[in-house]
Chain A
Amino acid sequence: MFRILHTRQLSDAVFEMGVEAPTIARKVRAGQFLMLRVGAGGERIPLTFSDWSAEEGWVRFIFMRVGKTTHALSHMAPGDSLADLVGPLGNPTHAGGLGRVAVVGGGVGAAVAYPVARAMVEAGDDVTAILGARNAGLLVLEDEFRAMGVKLEVVTDDGSAGRKALVTAPLKELCEAGAIDHAFAVGPAIMMRFCADTTAEFGVPTTVSLNPIMVDGTGMCGSCRVTVGGKTRFGCVDGPDFDGHAVDFAELMSRQRIYAEEERVSAAAYEEECTCRPKE
């Protein structure tokens, strides 16, 4: 059992959780993920480490409430325990020696972009962060990025915070100005695809952090397979980072929807049994 130490609601649908996990905390590096199970009968879901302390023995992650498991997770409080927490899984994101990097975080992708940007800054890269969300209510970690002291561009689809634009607009400007040597993008698959398309025009190498559906997270099932450069790769062990210009995003998006119907059934059943209704 893994004891929950801390919870925080970052926006309507985005939450942060800190869990006691001293063994794992010693090992985590930016870009790696964990798999957790809330309780018996629960699904194993992957989430990226957003923060950790080897000294104090905890790890944190930030999640968006989208379906049953993340919903259940959002109702848990300090003192409760998670049945399972496994990690750190996947390869760390490459940081250092990249030069001028644009780090793009779309929606809850900001949670993944945050530790990555921090690792890059620590490794001496020159980071410009671009945070995007549909609206101000979904924007997370803006203050944390500011506190890091990197250049920051905030955009929203409806202009309710920052500039009214998609993340690709500032990204394209940076490319046009010849102001970046590398890009890192994480968020919804469609956003990563447009980011990769944007940078491809300028020949700016671009890393994307993919989020295929996973079961074990250790290379045992192949659920997470993605096509990169015409080859099948396993997202959990070969990734999650891949060359954005070589990823077959259409396939990724199609595979992410395999269980759309079951997810709906599961969420509906959960709504029936869930006593602590989230406040609107």
Chain B
Amino acid sequence: MPERDARERAGDFSEVGLGYSEEQAREEAERCLQCRNPTCIEGCPVNIDIKAFIAAVQRGDWADGVSLLKERNPLPAVCGRVCPQEDQCEVACVLAKKGEPVAIGRLERFLGDFDLACDARHRCVAVPGEPTGKRVAVVGSGPAGLACAGELARLGHAVTIFESLHEPGGVLVYGIPEFRLPKSIVAEEIDALRGFGVEIVTDAVIGATHTLGELREELGYDAVFLGNGAGLPVFLGIPGENFNGVYSANEFLTRVNLMRAYEFPRADTPVWRGRKVAVIGGGNVAMDSARTALRLGAEDVFLVYRRTEDEMPARREEVHHAREEGVRFEMLCSPVEVLGQDGWVTGLVAQRMELGEPDESGRRAPVCIMGSEFTVDCDTVVVAVGTRANPLLSATAPDLGLTGRGYVETDEDGATSIPGVYAGGDCVTGSATVILAMGAGVRAARAMDGWLTGA
């Protein structure tokens, strides 16, 4: 798939990958063997009929390809861009063993974009079902909430999404940057959902504006889906972490993406543009933060990670992109203190690590090397070491069963301890992936349908 030159793209927020042309898509699809036993499908968390949609691309029947995709995945243009295909369908593709799997993700993106390029009337959308007279509230408009709402509407239920921020989309709008997932794509998908009859109420914090109990008792919703994510940022708890210039990745990315600080002063929200930026962590969030810092004009951006590149949880492609654009990797080191002067960050003290014996997870655990502290200069630190459950909603819902770590406890269908209340996505699993959140949303919608209609 064609990509923009690394030097050029690191200077702006436009998308990195350019997508396939029709010829390129067909050419790539032709590589698919149409296996009798298509292992790729098992690799997909929502079991998209990959073989069939690729066959449609081979035939040039884009619309059929889109409808096959949408049977399982309501947001192909999003997933085609952000799913970790290299750990899912593509690693399971028979051609992976021979070196290069079919580029399933890119073909998915191609079809998703084809669909979005059609005007609304020609889009491939499911038809809303016969109205059932039941009303459902969906809390949160991230991938879990959007997918759940779409499926509920398809089944004929009246759906209202309550979103605490001023814009729907969850991590897709406030976390994942424009250069990886253009906001216009998310906006199109959300418009389509509105066109489908789903109502979206922004500026509504469940736990503050309404409680979970009030949604049912006062506002009369027959059932509720919780898709409020896991948005509470984790800090390291090391000295100096509150100096000016230390950000959680959530704050850094929210300022830039949701609030569009990269357009400041045209947009009102500012962001501190550091010249030398340390990003702590090794996941997608860390890659996004580092690449965002580069685009804000930093001269030097480096990643501080406890293990080695092999253990980094970020998608391969993102690691590769980050490196190409000039992000430096400081592997096997762990921060111990943020240094500062007059309230501002001036450096980071870190300690060298080495990989010890494998732990229970089979990964070799990092152990610190005594006396190996070293200092690096920097004027910005972005902490991207994960997030936890936000207690805002659960604190006002005493009957809602939680796990020891504060996530919502559910059965396989997403049913919580409260009858009629379901949950899915990051608020159940902790920080995971877009496709798992969507899968959970759809699964819960079907279970809710059963519960609502007494089936």
Residue interface bits A257-280, CB-to-B below 8 A is 1, else 0: 111001101100100000000000
Q: Is B121 an interface residue (CB 8 A)?
A: no
Chain B residues with a Cβ closer than 8 Å to the other chain, count = 41
Q: Is A162 an interface residue (CB 8 A)?
A: no
A-binding segment of B71-79, B89-97, B261-269, B420-428? B261-269
Contact of B251 with A222 in the complex, beta carbons under 8 Å: yes
Contact of A222 with B265 in the complex, beta carbons under 8 Å: no
Q: Is A159 an interface residue (CB 8 A)?
A: no
Residue in B166, B235, B270 whose CB lies within 8 Å of A263: B270
Instruction: Give the complex CA separation of A216 and B208 in angstroms.
Output: 13
Closest approach, in angstroms, between the C-beta of B106 and any C-beta of chain A? 32
Closest approach, in angstroms, between the C-beta of A95 and any C-beta of chain B? 19
Q: Is A24 an interface residue (CB 8 A)?
A: yes
Residues in chain A near residue B268, CB distance under 8 A: 41-43, 68-69, 266
Residues in chain A near residue B369, CB distance under 8 A: none
Q: Is A223 an interface residue (CB 8 A)?
A: yes
Q: Is A251 an interface residue (CB 8 A)?
A: yes
Residues in chain A near residue B250, CB distance under 8 A: 220-222
B residues 177-206 in Cβ contact with A at 8 Å: 202-205
Q: Is B259 an interface residue (CB 8 A)?
A: yes
Q: Is A195 an interface residue (CB 8 A)?
A: no
Instruction: Give the complex CA separation of A27 and B206 in angstroms.
Output: 12
Instruction: Give the complex CA separation of A87 and B208 in angstroms.
Output: 7
Chain A residues with a Cβ closer than 8 Å to the other chain, count = 40
Contact of B269 with A43 in the complex, beta carbons under 8 Å: yes
Residues in chain A near residue B245, CB distance under 8 A: 258
Residue in B209, B241, B251, B266 whose CB lies within 8 Å of A24: B209
Contact of A251 with B205 in the complex, beta carbons under 8 Å: no
Instruction: Give the complex CA separation of A223 and B270 in angstroms.
Output: 12
Contact of A88 with B248 in the complex, beta carbons under 8 Å: no
Closest approach, in angstroms, between the C-beta of B417 and any C-beta of chain A? 23
Contact of B209 with A23 in the complex, beta carbons under 8 Å: yes
Closest approach, in angstroms, between the C-beta of A217 and any C-beta of chain B? 8
Contact of B232 with A220 in the complex, beta carbons under 8 Å: yes
5 closest A-B pairs by beta carbon, nearest first, are A254-B343, A262-B270, A221-B251, A43-B268, A222-B248
A-B contact pairs, 26 of them (CB 8 A): A27-B208, A42-B268, A43-B269, A44-B269, A68-B268, A84-B202, A86-B166, A86-B203, A87-B205, A87-B208, A89-B205, A215-B251, A218-B164, A220-B232, A221-B233, A221-B251, A222-B250, A222-B251, A223-B251, A232-B237, A255-B244, A257-B343, A259-B270, A259-B272, A262-B264, A266-B270
